[in-house]
Structure 1
Amino acid sequence: MDLDETPKRAEHPRSLARRLSAEKARAALAAIKGEADWQGSYILAADTVVCVGRRILPKPELVSEASSALHLLSGRSHRVYTGICLVTPDRTLRQKVVDTKVRFKRLSGLDIESYLASGQWRGKAGGYGIQGIAGSFVVKLVGSYTNVVGLPLYETVNLLVGEGYEVHNSWMES
C-alpha cells in the first residue's frame, strides 16, 4: 500500500496522525475482495508522527535527513503522536490519538555520528527508534513508551476490548 504521508497545508501533527491511520485502515478495507473474507474481521492501522512544536519531522530516507532531525531534537523536547484506527466487523471506524512528550539530552557529534552509522534511524518517524540505541538519548518521557515505539499498547488494547474483541482470551489460545 503506497500512501502519501505528506502533511496538508497547516495540518497539526495530531490531525496528521489521525488522518493517516484512517487512510491506512480504509486502504486495507478496500483491498478485501469479498464479504466472506471480511466476516467478523477487524482491521487495526496506526501512524506515528514526531514533531518539534508544529514542525513535523519526516521519516528520513537519507542519512542527511536523519542527521538534520537528530540535530533538531538534540537537547529539546518534542512530541510523538500515534493515531490508531480500528475498523470493526460492522465496518465502523474507531479512532484514538496518543500523545507522548519526550526530551533528548544534548547530543554530541559522536552520538549523532554513531547513531547514523547504526542505521537504526531508517524507516523511523523523526529519525529515531526509542527501542534501540536512541533510548539512551532520552532524558525524560511523559506518556506512553509504547507510543514512541509506534503502537501504544494500553490504548490499543482498550480500543479493541471496547469493541468486543476478546483480547486476553485470544492471547491464551495461542
Structure 2
Amino acid sequence: MKRPLILASASPRRKELLELAGLDFKVVPSHALEPLPDDSESPEEYAVSMARIKAVEVAGRCPDAVVLGADSVVAVDMDILGKPVDEADAVRMLGMLSGRTHRVVTGVCVVMPGHEDRMFSVSTDVTMADISPEAARAYVETGEPMDKAGAYAVQGRAACFVTRINGSYTNVVGLPLAEVVSIFSEI
C-alpha cells in the first residue's frame, strides 16, 4: 500500500488486531455522530452504514490516506444491541443473550482516494450458556462490558459465557481480520 493507512476508531481491540496483522497504520478516531438504528435497517445495513459514516468523516480530515472504518453490533433476531447506556442496560442485554445464539455483525468501510469505497459486513454466530442474573451483575460490576456492543467482550471475562462460535473469532472481537487484510493485499 503506497498511501498511509488510518484506522478511524479508538477501539483498542481493533488497534491490537491490525498490529497482529503487521500493518503499519495510524489511529485517528472518528468524531462523527452515530445515529440510532432505523427500524427498517438490518443489522448488516446498520453496521456498514456506521462504518462508512466513521470512515468518511476521518477521510475528510485525512484526504491522502486510506481510511478503515468499522462498527460492530450484536443482533438478537433483528434487534440491534449496541453499547449499553448504563449497568442496568448491560444486565438487560446479557439476559437477552443468555442461553441462545446471536449474531455479531461488523460493518467495514475502506475509503481510498481515487477509488470507490469498499464496504462489506461479516457475521459470526455466537452461542451463550445460560447466564444467571447474579453472574450477569457480577460481570457488569467489573466494568468490562460498558463499552462493548452487546455488553460483553469475548476476549475478556465473558469468554466463560461463550459455548460456541461459528465464523470469524476476530469479527467478534471487533474486526474481521482475514477479510480486511485481503482488501489491503489487493490495493
Report the TM-score when normalising by structure 1.
0.86
Report the CA distance shift for 1:5/1:128 in structure 2 as closer, same or farther (over 3 A): farther
Q: Quick check: 2:103–2:125 contact (8 Å CA) kept in 1?
A: yes
Does 2:27 match 1:3?
A: no
Instruction: Pick the structure with greater CA Rg.
Output: 1
Partner deviation per Cα, 1:154-174 (whole Å, 9 max, x = no partner): 111011112x2xxxxxxxxxx
Q: 1:64 aligns with which of 83, 88, 96?
A: 88
Residue equivalent to 2:129: 105
Deviation at 1:9, TM superposition (A): 2.7
Q: Quick check: 2:55–2:69 contact (8 Å CA) kept in 1?
A: yes
Equivalent AA in structure 1 for residue 101 of structure 2: S
Q: 1:73 aligns with which of 86, 94, 97?
A: 97
Taking the aligned partners of 2:47 and 2:147, their CA distance within structure 1 comes to 16
SS of 1:122 mapped into structure 2: helix
Q: How does 1:118-137 map to 2 (within 5 A)?
A: 118-137=142-161
Q: Quick check: 2:129–2:161 contact (8 Å CA) kept in 1?
A: yes
Residue equivalent to 1:146: 170
Partner deviation per Cα, 1:116-169 (whole Å, 9 max, x = no partner): 11111111111111110011111110001110110111111011112x2xxxxx
Taking the aligned partners of 1:14 and 1:123, their CA distance within structure 2 comes to 20
Equivalent AA in structure 2 for residue 156 of structure 1: V
Residue equivalent to 1:12: 42
Taking the aligned partners of 1:53 and 1:142, their CA distance within structure 2 comes to 16
Does 2:55 match 1:28?
A: no
Equivalent AA in structure 1 for residue 135 of structure 2: D
Unaligned runs of 5+ in 1: 33-37, 165-174
Taking the aligned partners of 2:66 and 2:131, their CA distance within structure 1 comes to 42
Partner deviation per Cα, 1:66-90 (whole Å, 9 max, x = no partner): 0100001000100010011111232
Equivalent AA in structure 2 for residue 21 of structure 1: A
Equivalent AA in structure 2 for residue 146 of structure 1: T
Deviation at 1:91, TM superposition (A): 4.5
Unaligned runs of 5+ in 2: 1-30
**Greater mean deviation of Cα atoms: 105-114 or 67-76:** 105-114
Taking the aligned partners of 1:5 and 1:142, their CA distance within structure 2 comes to 29
Deviation at 1:114, TM superposition (A): 1.5
Residue equivalent to 2:140: 116
Q: Which runs of 4+ in 1 moved over 2 A?
A: none
Report the CA distance shift for 1:74/1:147 in structure 2 as closer, same or farther (over 3 A): same
Cα RMSD (Å) of the superposition? 1.2
Provide the aligned length of Structure 1 versus Structure 2. Answer: 157
